[in-house]
Structure 1
Amino acid sequence: MQGQNGFFIQFLRLAGPFWNSENKVVIRNQTLALIILTVLQMALAVIITEWSAALFNALEQHSMSGLLEQVGYLVLIFVTSMAVTAMHMKVKRHLQIGWRSWLTERVIGQWMNKGRHYLISHIQTVDHDNPDGRIAEDIRIATDEAITLCHSLFYSLLLLISFTSILWELSGVFILDLGAFKFPVYGYLVWVAIIYSTLASVLGWWASRPLTLTTNAMQTAEANFRFGLVRARENSQAIALIHGETNEKRRFLYFFQNITTLYDRQTQAWANILLFNSGYGVLSMAFPILIAAPRYILGSLSLGALMQAVQAFQQMSAALSWPVNNMAPIAQWRASVERVLGLVKALEDLELEIARPDPQRILLERPDKSTLCFRDLCISQLDGKVMICGLNAEIRPGERVLISGDVFTGARLFKAIAGLWPWGRGSIELPDGEPMFFMPPRPYLPDGTLHAAICYPSDAEAFSSASIDALLKLAGLGELRSQLEQTDAWDKVLTREQQQRLGLVRLLLYRPKWILLQEAFDSLDPDGEVLMLRIICQELPDAALLSITNQPSAVAFHHRKIIL
Structure 2
Amino acid sequence: MQTAGAFGQVQTSLSFFVNAYARIAEWKAVVDRLSGFAAQAGLAGPVPPRGGVAMERGWPQVPLSVAELNVTTPDGTALIEGANFSVEAGQTLLLKGPSECGKTTLLRAICGFWPYSSGSVALVEGARMLVLPQSPYLPLGSLRVVLAYPAEEHAIPDSELRHALAKVGLGHLLASLDHVDQWSAMLSLGEQQRIGFARALIARPDVLFLDEATSALDEHAEAYLM
Q: TM-score, normalised by structure 1?
A: 0.32
Q: How many residues align?
A: 190
Aligned match for 1:230, one of 30, 33, 58: 33
Tell me, in whole angstroms, the C-alpha distance in 2 between the residues paired with 1:457 and 1:496. Answer: 19
Equivalences for residues 96-495 of structure 1 within 5 A:
229-230=32-33, 350=47, 353-354=48-49, 356=50, 361-370=51-60, 371=62, 372-408=64-100, 409-495=102-188
Listed one character per residue, the Cα deviations across residues 244-286 of structure 1 (whole Å, up to 9, x for unaligned) are xxxxxxxxxxx9xxxxxxxxxxxxxxxxxxxxxxxxxxxxxxx
- Alpha-carbon shift at residue 369 of structure 1 (Å): 2.8
Question: Which residue number in structure 1 is paired with residue 18 of structure 2?
Answer: none
- Alpha-carbon shift at residue 364 of structure 1 (Å): 2.4
Tell me, in whole angstroms, the C-alpha distance in 2 between the residues paired with 1:477 and 1:460. Answer: 18
- Alpha-carbon shift at residue 368 of structure 1 (Å): 4.7
**Given residue 365 of structure 1, which amino acid in structure 2 is its aligned partner?**
M
Q: Which of 1 and 2 has higher RCO (CA within 8 Å, sep 6+)?
A: 2
**Given residue 456 of structure 1, which amino acid in structure 2 is its aligned partner?**
Y
Listed one character per residue, the Cα deviations across residues 106-164 of structure 1 (whole Å, up to 9, x for unaligned) are xxxxxxxxxxxxxxxxxxxxxxxxxxxxxxxxxxxxxxxxxxxxxxxxxxxxxxxxxxx
- Quick check: 1:525 aligned with 2:218? yes
Which has the larger share of strand?
2
> Which runs of 5 or more structure 2 residues have no equivalent in the other structure?
1-27
Contact 1:373/1:430, CA 8 A, preserved across alignment? yes
Which has the larger share of helix?
1
Tell me, in whole angstroms, the C-alpha distance in 1 between the residues paired with 2:58 and 2:117. Answer: 24
Q: Percent identity?
A: 30
Aligned match for 1:506, one of 176, 199, 203: 199
**Given residue 504 of structure 1, which amino acid in structure 2 is its aligned partner?**
F
Tell me, in whole angstroms, the C-alpha distance in 2 between the residues paired with 1:447 and 1:454. Answer: 11
Change (3 A) 1:460 1:228: closer
**Given residue 56 of structure 2, which amino acid in structure 1 is its aligned partner?**
R
Structure 1 runs of 4+ aligned residues shifted over 4 Å read 225-228
- Alpha-carbon shift at residue 226 of structure 1 (Å): 7.2
Contact 1:451/1:460, CA 8 A, preserved across alignment? yes
Listed one character per residue, the Cα deviations across residues 477-508 of structure 1 (whole Å, up to 9, x for unaligned) are 11111111000111111111111111111110
Tell me, in whole angstroms, the C-alpha distance in 2 between the residues paired with 1:531 and 1:368. Answer: 31
- Alpha-carbon shift at residue 474 of structure 1 (Å): 1.7
Listed one character per residue, the Cα deviations across residues 380-411 of structure 1 (whole Å, up to 9, x for unaligned) are 11111111111111222221111111353111
- Alpha-carbon shift at residue 229 of structure 1 (Å): 3.3
Listed one character per residue, the Cα deviations across residues 205-256 of structure 1 (whole Å, up to 9, x for unaligned) are xxxxxxxxxxxxxxxxxxxx9778338xxxxxxxxxxxxxxxxxxxxxxx9x
Question: 1:501 aligns to what SS in structure 2?
Answer: helix
Contact 2:53/2:69, CA 8 A, preserved across alignment? no
Larger CA Rg, structure 1 vs 2: 1
Contact 1:364/1:430, CA 8 A, preserved across alignment? no
Contact 1:439/1:503, CA 8 A, preserved across alignment? yes
Tell me, in whole angstroms, the C-alpha distance in 2 between the residues paired with 1:482 and 1:462. Answer: 19
- Alpha-carbon shift at residue 427 of structure 1 (Å): 2.2
Tell me, in whole angstroms, the C-alpha distance in 1 between the residues paired with 2:29 and 2:196. Answer: 30
Tell me, in whole angstroms, the C-alpha distance in 2 between the residues paired with 1:469 and 1:394. Answer: 34
Contact 2:56/2:120, CA 8 A, preserved across alignment? no
- Alpha-carbon shift at residue 425 of structure 1 (Å): 2.6
Contact 2:58/2:122, CA 8 A, preserved across alignment? no
> Which runs of 5 or more structure 1 residues have no equivalent in the other structure?
1-224, 232-254, 256-341, 534-564
Tell me, in whole angstroms, the C-alpha distance in 1 between the residues paired with 2:110 and 2:126. Answer: 15
Aligned match for 1:516, one of 202, 209, 214: 209
Q: TM-score, normalised by structure 2?
A: 0.75
Instruction: Give the RMSD, CA atoms, in angstroms.
Output: 2.6
Question: 1:429 aligns to what SS in structure 2?
Answer: strand
Tell me, in whole angstroms, the C-alpha distance in 2 between the residues paired with 1:228 and 1:407. Answer: 33
Listed one character per residue, the Cα deviations across residues 397-452 of structure 1 (whole Å, up to 9, x for unaligned) are 22111111135311111010111112133222233210111111122111111011
Change (3 A) 1:476 1:227: closer
